[in-house]
Amino acid sequence: MCEKCFDKEIFRFDSQSDFNDFEKTLGKKSKYLELINSKNEYLDDFHYTYTCGNCNQNWWLSIPENAWRGYFLTEKNAKDNIENIRSSDKKKKNGCLILLIFFFMILMLSLINSCVGKSQKFDKIKWNKREDGFYLYREEMIGDLTENYLKKGTTYKKIISLLGAPQNLNDEIERTISYELMTDYGWDIDPVEVKTLKIKISKDSTLNSFKIEHWKK
C-alpha cells in the first residue's frame, strides 16, 4: 500500500453514499491504479482487480449490492475475507441441517408418543364408559385386553365379568359374542366405520378364539 493508491483498506461500504465517495477517490487515483483482468477461483462478476503502478500492490474491489456491502481490500486480505465468509456460510448451512434433523426427531418422537398415548391399560370401569352413545376408551384398551386378559380357556363367566353383557345375543350356532369398540358416523346417519371385538366360545363355555372385525365404508 502507498499514498499513490490507498493507505487503508475498506472492509465494507456502510452505505451507497460511502461507495459513491470511494468511486470518486478511485477515479482520481486511476493514474496509478490499473484495472486488470484476473481469473481466480475467488472472483465473480462483481469483483474487479487493480494493481498499483507505484507499489505493485493488488487490490480487489467487491461492488455492494442489496444486503451485500462489498469491500476494497488487498489481494491477501480479500482472499482471507472470502474464506471467512465461505466458512461462516458452511456453518450456517450445517446449523440449519442440524436444526432440521432435530425438529424431524422431535416430530417423530411426538408421533410415537401420540401412538403410545392411544394405548391404555384395560380398566373394567372405563371399558363401559360412554359419552353421547360412544365408547370412550375401548379402542385404546383393546391391545392390553387381548394380550393380557383374553387367554384361550378363559371362562364365559369371566369374560362377562370383565367386559359386561355383549352387544349381541349369544348365537348358539356360532357361539360368538360381540363388543363394539368404535363406530364412526362421519357426516351421515349411517355408520361409515365400525370396529368390533368378536369372541368365539367353545362348547365347554370357554374362550376358543377372538378377532377384531374392521369395517369401513
Q: Quick one: CA torsion of 199, 201, 202, 208, rounded to 10 degrees?
A: 20
Q: Which of 180, 188, 166 is nearest to 215 (CA)?
A: 180
Least confident of 32-46, 111-125, 178-192: 32-46
Least confident of 8-12, 37-41, 117-121, 162-166: 37-41
143 contact partners, CB below 8 Å, separation of at least 6: 119
Q: Which of 2, 15, 107 is nearest to 55 (CA)?
A: 2
For the beta carbon of residue 182, count every other beta carbon within 10 angstroms: 17
- Residue 157: its pLDDT value, please? 93
**Per-residue model confidence as pLDDT tens digits over 128-154:** 998 888 899 999 999 999 999 999 999
- Residue 170: its pLDDT value, please? 54
- Mean pLDDT, the chain, rounded, equals 83
pLDDT band at residue 34, thresholds of 50, 70 and 90?
confident
- Residue 7: its pLDDT value, please? 83
Taking residues 198-209, report their average pLDDT: 92
Q: Is the predicted pLDDT of residue 43 greater than 70, yes or no?
A: no
Q: Is the pTM of this model over 0.75?
A: no
Rg (CA), the chain: 39
- Measure CA 10 to chain center: 42
39 vs 134, more confident: 134
- Residue 112: its pLDDT value, please? 59
Task: Name residue 99's beta-bridge partners.
Answer: none
Residue 206 corresponds to which amino acid?
A: T
Percent of the chain beyond pLDDT 90?
Answer: 30
**Per-residue model confidence as pLDDT tens digits over 159-197:** 999 999 888 765 556 789 999 999 998 887 888 999 999
